[in-house]
Structure 1
C-alpha cells in the first residue's frame, strides 16, 4: 500500500518532476533531429514570455485552457470523466454568437458581455445535461455519450454556419463580423505599468473572468454542501447513497456546471479575438483541458499554472518552429503529448519511490524524537 504524500509534494513536487522528465525526453528528441536542446528551450521560453506581445498570446491561450481545465476538474470530483468539452464549448459558442449577433448593434460591450456569459454557460450546460441524464437515469457511460456529443455539436455548427448563420458563401462557414458592442476590450493597459507592451495580442477581459471562475470553483468544491456531496460521491458512491445523498441530482448538476464552464471558453476566441462565429474556434481546447486538470490535480490553484504552461507551449512552440525549421509543429505536439503522458497516464511512475522516501524520513524523525521523550 502506498502511503499518502504531503500535500506540498502531491500538488507541487510531483507535477514539477513529471514536467521536468517530459522536457528531458523532449530534449533527447530535439537532439536526435540535430538541434541543440538548450537553445530550443531558450527559444521556447523566449517565444512564450520574451516580450509583452508574446506573453499576451500565452495568457490568451491559457485563458481558454483554464475554462476547459476547470470543466474537467469539476466533473472529476464526482468521479465523472467529462470528455465532451469540445462539443460543450462549440455549443457554448453558439450561445455567445446568438447574443452577439442580436445585440451588438444596440448595447455596449459591458452589457452584452454578461448576457453572452449567461448564453455560453446555458448552452454548454444544456449540451452536458443530456449525457448526464442518460448516465443518471439510464446507466449510459458518460465517456461514450460525451464523445458522441462532440461529433454532433460539430455537425450542428457546420449546418448553422453553412446555412442560417452564414454571412456569405464566398467567405466560407462563418457569421458576419460583430459590431463594437460585442467586441471585448483588450488588457494591454493592465500591464503597461510593468513596462509590458502587449501590442496587438488578443489577451482580453475574459482572462479576468477565468481567474474569477477558478476562485468560484474552489468555493463550490471545498466550501459548499453540494461540493462536499460531489466529493463524497466521487470518493465512495456507496457511502454517498447510504448517507441519503441524491446520486442522480449530483451527477446531473455537476455535469451541467462542468458543461457551463466549458461553454464559457467560447467567450475568449469568439468575442475576445475573432469577433465572429466560425468553425474550429475550439481548436482542441476541450482535450487539452483534460491534461490541464490532471496536471493541476483537479484543484484551481494547480489548474491556473498548468493552463499557463500549456499556453506557453502553444505560443512558444509556434515561435520555436519558426526559428528552428527542423522542429516542426508536429514535434511541438509531441512535447505536449509527453507532458500529458507523464502528468496523466504515468502520473504514478514516481509516486511509490517518493512515498517510500518520505515514509522513511518520517520514521527516522520519529526515532530521533523518542529517546529524547524518554529522558
Structure 2
C-alpha cells in the first residue's frame, strides 16, 4: 500500500519529487500488477474522468501507453492529432488546451518538441483556477518524467518484486551511457536516481555529457563516496582529482589534422585537368574553319539546280513541236471530207 497521501496535481518534473512521493508511486504501481492478470483488465479508479492525450509530436509507445492506462482505469480518452487540428488554421497551443478544458477534460497528457510547453499549459490552468492535472510526457530536451518513473519502477522491482521502494538503490552503482545532453529521459533519470542515493555515472563523448550534470552528481552524490575512480566518471574535468581520464581526450584530436594534409594533394590534379580545358578550345576554331569550306560548296550544288531547271525549259520547247504535227493531222481531216463531198455530188448527178 502507499505510504503517503498524494497531493501533487501536476507531474512536470522529477527535480522536486520527495522520497515519500517516489515510494507512493512505486507501491501504487506494484499494486496494479494484479489488474493485468485478470480476465477483465479494468478497475473504476478513474471512472467518469476524461483524459486528453495532447501529443504535438509523433509518438507510438508513450501515447499508446497513456491511452491504454487511462482505459484500464475506466477513464474516457480524447486523442489529439496536430495535423488535423485547428493548429493548422493558426490556433495557439493554449487555445487548444482551453478547448479541451471546455470539453470537460480532467487530465491532459502533453508532449511537445519545445521545452516548457507542459509548464505553460499548467500555469494557464492554474490561472484559470481549474482542477485539471497536467502530465509531462516529454518536452524537448528538458525532461520525460513518466519514462523515468517507469525506469525506476523496473529497477526497484528487480531488487524487490513485491515491495519496490526507493532506498533499495542506495549505494548501487548505476551508469547512464550515450547521448546525455540530448536525452530528456537521462535528465529525469538523474533526478530520480540521485534522490535514491545511488552512485550515478555518466558515460559518453565529452561533447555529449553536459558539464552541469557531472557537477550536480558530484555535489549531491559523489561526495558521499570515497572511491577514487568515481571522479573520472562525473567530476569536474578541471578538478585536480581527475587528471587521468583527461589526457585521452586530446589524444584523438591530433589525428584530426593528419587527414587534412592530403586534402591539398588532390587539388593540384584539379588544376591539371583545367589546363587541357583551353587546349580543346584551341581546336574549337579549327573545326569552325572547315565550316565555311562546307558553306562554300553550298552554292555549288545550287548551280546544278539551275542546270536542272534549264532542262525543264527545254522539254517545253518540244511541246510546240508536238503540237505542230497535231495541226498537220488535222489538215488531212478536211481532205477526207472533201472526197465525201465529191462522192455525194456524183450520186446526186
Q: Which has the higher contact order (CA 8 A, sep 6+)?
A: 1
TM-score by length of 2: 0.20
More strand by share: 2
TM-score by length of 1: 0.19
More helix by share: 1
